Amino acid sequence: MTNQLFTRNTLGGFLSELSQSSPDKDFITYPDRSLRWSYRQFEERVNRLAAGLLNTGIDKGDHVGVWARNVPDWLTFLFATAKIGAVLVTVNTLYKKFELDYVLKQSDMKALAIVDGFRDVDYVQTVYELVPELKTQKRGELKSKKYPELRSVIYIGQEKHRGMYNTSELMILGEHTSWDKVYEKAASLDCDQVINMQYTSGTTGFPKGVMLTHSNILNNGYYIGERQKLTSVDRVCLPVPLFHCFGLVLGVMATLTHGGTLVMLEQFEPLLALAAVQKEKCTAIYGVPTMFISELNHPMFDMFDLSSLRTGIMAGSPCPIETMKSVMNKMHCDEITIAYGLTEASPVFTQTSTDDPIERRVNTVGTKLPHIEVKIIDPDTGEKLGPGEQGEICCRGYNIMKGYYKMPEATARTIDEDGWLHSGDLAEADEQGYYKITGRIKDMIIRGGENIYPREIEEFLYTMPDIRNVQVVGVPNEKYGEEVGAFVILEEGSDAKPEDIRDFAKTKIARYKSPKHIFIVDEFPMTASGKIQKYKLREMAAELSKTK
């Protein structure tokens, strides 16, 4: 391994090189609508949109938001803003009016690109409610009382909405504008400039804008792809949201840096994912464990030929061993990998390899990626810990964010003076350098002075045949400070009662670890990227325990 990073190129520069070296190769395809763009076709579309954006006043350093499902032009906006040095601000598709208001203000957004809506949220109506001036002012010259930086709103699509540009109009503007300005901007960029701002999912407190550079995401994407042994022949089925690092870096950047093909889904639907794999002969598929479970359990699963699959990534939450076995055997993903990281680390800093045994892929999150450092420290003293010792996992290297936008104090709390990113996650490493995540520091339960790690109890409760999924949290208690609470999703057909689970635990683990409170539920509160919101479970547990 050399000491050189994979690339010092910019995102736009990397795309241009592939457009020249592999012009006719598929880069992006949407199999459900027979849409296909080669590298050259896509770059031409990117240049048109970039020129159109420049024409409307967007320039280097400006913040451009995208609030949209994985529609085809989501990626056009990503690369077009990168070409001219603007910063793409990704907006969570599940946000509603309150959250959008916060991000519009906090990010100093100059333009916002939207689609019609998602699930129960009408995006167009929401924007009009927040920015009523849109209906009376000239496009591109918006003056909003609430959002002083905001100048324009763009509708991604053909429809016309009062006060908004649409992408067709921007493309026509780009057609009739010299691309020389785009090339000049692209040539002036530095790979260490911020290109992307992603808001942390906000499982605690207000979301923070994580500032990521060309170099952050391109290089992290490359090393993620290397762990999967990706090459230019790979076709990656990507059903995870692009607003999150899983889609944007593990998916798009890993595929781009290996000259592969992205097989896109506008939103996750198990049947569409299975059909996409068969139609496009995908070699890799991504998802959180719940996505893989819904694919495997789909009644039409056996109708699809998935034999082209080889690898992929499962991330977001721990994977039960039986699910991993099924993915490897029934879905032919015998080289599937597990990745761990944080948005603040671009995001991955450990990942399993294609040839790791199944035990490693289920019980660990792999070894550190090249060109970064990972260590485990005592959360109280900062002292570095050795193999088998549990502490906070920290990371340092090229992949660490520039900081949280306009939040210097929060940045300083997360990245120390020596450049180490403190994850807030508890982990331990073995002698071979494989890391195992054991919980979150904030999730730790302290009962009468005893530290209890939720992950340990969750893993134990999974051994009860009636339990499909479980999440353990602390429940306030006057005597002990906290007691253990478990939210349980039962296997289909099970009629287990809370007392059955309590009795099962009492006989097998230390009494102080045994859940005092058992809550049987149908689902857990989730973020749009598939992470379970433990803080909401803690709030629910505190309320539910009062009524018992």
Question: Hey, what amino acid is at 40?
Answer: R
CA 491 to chain centre: 28
Measured CA to CA, the distance from residue 544 to residue 295 in angstroms comes to 33
Question: Hey, what amino acid is at 310?
Answer: R
Residues counted in the chain: 548
User: Which residues are paired to 486 by β-bridges?
Assistant: 472, 518
CB 219 within 8 A of CB 398: yes
Residues of the chain within CATH 3.40.50.12780 domain(s) are 209-440
CB 127 within 8 A of CB 134: yes
Give the three-state DSSP class for 63.
strand
Question: Which CATH class name applies to 33-189?
Answer: alpha beta
Residue 202 is predicted with a pLDDT of 47
Measured CA to CA, the distance from residue 227 to residue 29 in angstroms comes to 24
Question: Which CATH class name applies to 444-546?
Answer: alpha beta
Residues of the chain within CATH 3.40.50.980 domain(s) are 33-189
Question: Which CATH class name applies to 209-440?
Answer: alpha beta
CA 83 to chain centre: 23
Residues of the chain within CATH 3.30.300.30 domain(s) are 444-546
Q: State the DSSP string of 152-182.
A: EEEESSS---TT-EEHHHHHHHHHTS-THHH
Which residues, at least 6 apart from 543, have a Cβ–Cβ distance to it below 8 Å?
none
What are the 10-residue block averages of pLDDT along the chain, 548 residues in total? 85 98 98 96 98 97 98 98 98 88 96 95 96 95 97 97 97 94 96 96 69 98 98 98 96 98 97 98 94 94 98 86 92 97 95 95 95 96 96 97 96 96 94 91 77 83 94 88 94 95 86 91 88 89 85
